[in-house]
Amino acid sequence: MSVSTAPAKAPLNSPGRVIAASLVGTTIEFYDFYVYATAAALVFPKLFFPSEDATTALISSFAVFGAAMVARPVGAIFFGHLGDKRGRKTTLVISLLTMGVATFLIGLLPTYFQAGILAPVLLLALRLCQGFALGGEWSGAALVATENAPEGKRALYGTFPQLGAPIGFIIANGLFLLINFALPHPDGPTMQSEAFLSWGWRIPFLFSSVMVIIGLWVRLKLVESEAFTRAEKKGAISKLPLSNTLRFHWRALILGTFIMLATYVLFYLTTTFALTYGTTASDATPGGLGINYTDFVLMQIIGVVFFGVFTLISGPVADMIGRRKLLIGVTVAIIVFGLSFPIWLTMRESQLFTGGMTQAFLVIGFTLMGITFGPMGAILPELFPTNVRYTGSAIAYNVSSILGAALAPIIAVALWSKAGGGTWMVGVYLAFAALLTLISLILVKETKDTDYNAASVEDENLNRSRVVETVA
């Protein structure tokens, strides 16, 4: 009888609720992250890191941007431990609230001209809070989606938290664009106004509080996943998720970290670095494309639409042919794309031709991004058993953020400057990162048919031995 009544208790999360909870939360989290990324490229170098050398100011701003990536593995360990021991729902609520509060407070910060060195210090502290929160967000959302997915549709459901990235990007940059356009522009409607630099940039940060309230309301309605509940009933919950992950699943941890590497590098080159390179004047040092801010953000938004579409498409394809085969193919394409950077990102005599080639670069880059990012919501969690799945996937995802996302904008700016304004070295950097990902994918086994309800055999044996020792 107990077998027949169990299914009636568990599937309380309808497909709509699962999709909403995984998508809304990551949309808000990525919105908050992109709001900062945009400000880091356009506003913070002037307001928080003033310097006579524009490149130095920009690198300082990107360094604080990258500092959040260092905090993400710490958040992954904390939230992973909480998620594997206490459940996914509580962890997701706490991570979302932490991110929202930090983002809101950034919108209230004084600038360097108002508070001196205290301003960038406070910005760094809140940026670290953002990274800490994001360290637990993605993995929890991916687990909510995939652990509640129907049989044979894990990769499809895993794309819903991934969609938070393109949607969050569009909302964040669209809002920046609207605010900048709505404010008075003495130098023309396509230029940043003094009002935007003075107070307009704060609005997207403050608006985050509204989105967080909506996200919390959706997530508080979730019921714990069946996979976690089943492991809890079996007594298979890991006592020390981090220790057991490092002890028994270190190979999956390393492979998962590098499987994600190319995705991170590609994304931050097509967003943060591309925004800087595209809007820098061609006669500056180093020289850029000289496209005005409004036009370039619109071009990025067009590219991100392709990102979202191909993220969704990648799910059913990964369910059909397998995650590994799809990711190997797209990673090879990323290597070729990286080596072709000079073809797309070069000043031409015709400004229209320059804009057209740049738009093609963004569309291709974001299309590849969607295909490689979509299956990550399935493959990374599938590398780990239920009782260390949150910890394992979160650490792999977020350690990769240090190697990829934290360093990508800084390395790209340095290579761009060293190449005298050229982008070929930046493209080689992307190709090298993709090569490391390709090697990892070749070494990993296909995870499509993984038993998602299985707990770690090693952890179950440890738990049994502890029980025996206690009884003895």
Between 261 and 351, the higher pLDDT residue: 261
Integer Cα distance of 86 and 421 in angstroms = 51
Integer Cα distance of 75 and 69 in angstroms = 10
Percent of residues, the chain, with pLDDT higher than 70: 89
Instruction: Output DSSP code: residue 386.
Output: G
Percent of residues, the chain, with pLDDT higher than 90: 35
Q: pTM of the full predicted structure?
A: 0.82
Rounded to an integer, the average pLDDT of 462-466 is 49
Give just the sign of the alpha carbon dihedral 164, 169, 440, 238: negative
Integer Cα distance of 38 and 409 in angstroms = 12
86-141, pLDDT tens digit by residue?
A: 777 788 888 888 888 998 999 999 998 899 889 989 999 998 998 898 888 888 88
The predicted pLDDT at position 458 comes to 53
Distance between terminal CA atoms of the chain?
Answer: 33
- Return the residue matching tokens 């704060």: 202
Q: How confident is the model at residue 239 (pLDDT cuts 50, 70, 90)?
A: confident
**Is the pLDDT reported for residue 190 higher than 50?**
no
35-49, pLDDT tens digit by residue?
A: 887 788 778 888 888
The predicted pLDDT at position 90 comes to 82
Would you state the structure tokens that stand for residue 42, as one six-digit string?
């356009």
The predicted pLDDT at position 337 comes to 97
Would you state the structure tokens that stand for residue 32, as one six-digit string?
């908050």
List all residues 6 or more positions away from 225 whose beta carbon is below 8 Å from its beta carbon: 13, 88, 143, 144, 147, 148
Of the candidate ranges 37-41, 105-109, 234-238, 396-400, the one whose mean pLDDT is the lowest: 234-238
Integer Cα distance of 272 and 62 in angstroms = 9
The predicted pLDDT at position 8 comes to 42
Integer Cα distance of 283 and 312 in angstroms = 40
> What average pLDDT does the chain have?
84
The predicted pLDDT at position 167 comes to 92
The predicted pLDDT at position 28 comes to 81
191-212, pLDDT tens digit by residue?
A: 556 777 788 889 999 998 888 8
Of the candidate ranges 79-93, 362-376, 433-447, the one whose mean pLDDT is the lowest: 79-93
357-375, pLDDT tens digit by residue?
A: 999 999 999 999 999 999 9
Question: CB 356: neighbour CB atoms within 10 A?
Answer: 14
- CA-closest candidate to residue 428, choices 294, 336, 317, 348: 336
Cis omega (within 30 of 0) for bond into 316: no
Between 93 and 308, the higher pLDDT residue: 308
**Is the pLDDT reported for residue 467 higher than 50?**
no
**Is the pLDDT reported for residue 63 higher than 50?**
yes
Would you state the structure tokens that stand for residue 281, as one six-digit string?
């004047």
The predicted pLDDT at position 249 comes to 93
CATH number of 14-225+235-471: 1.20.1250.20
Mean pLDDT is highest, among 66-75, 132-141, 424-433, for 424-433
With 0-12 / 13-18 / 19 or more C-beta atoms within 10 angstroms meaning exposed / middle / buried, residue 235 is exposed
- CA-closest candidate to residue 435, choices 365, 361, 333: 333
Of the candidate ranges 70-84, 113-127, 181-195, the one whose mean pLDDT is the lowest: 181-195
Rounded to an integer, the average pLDDT of 65-73 is 81
Cα-based distances in Å from 89 to 95, 219, 234, 290: 10, 7, 20, 46
Integer Cα distance of 39 and 362 in angstroms = 20
Residues composing the chain: 472
Of the candidate ranges 175-184, 317-326, 395-404, the one whose mean pLDDT is the lowest: 175-184
Question: CB 309: neighbour CB atoms within 10 A?
Answer: 15
The predicted pLDDT at position 40 comes to 80
Alpha helices by DSSP H, listed for 183-272, are: 194-195, 202-219, 226-233, 241-248, 250-259, 261-268
Rounded to an integer, the average pLDDT of 46-55 is 78
Cα-based distances in Å from 316 to 133, 164, 378: 30, 18, 11
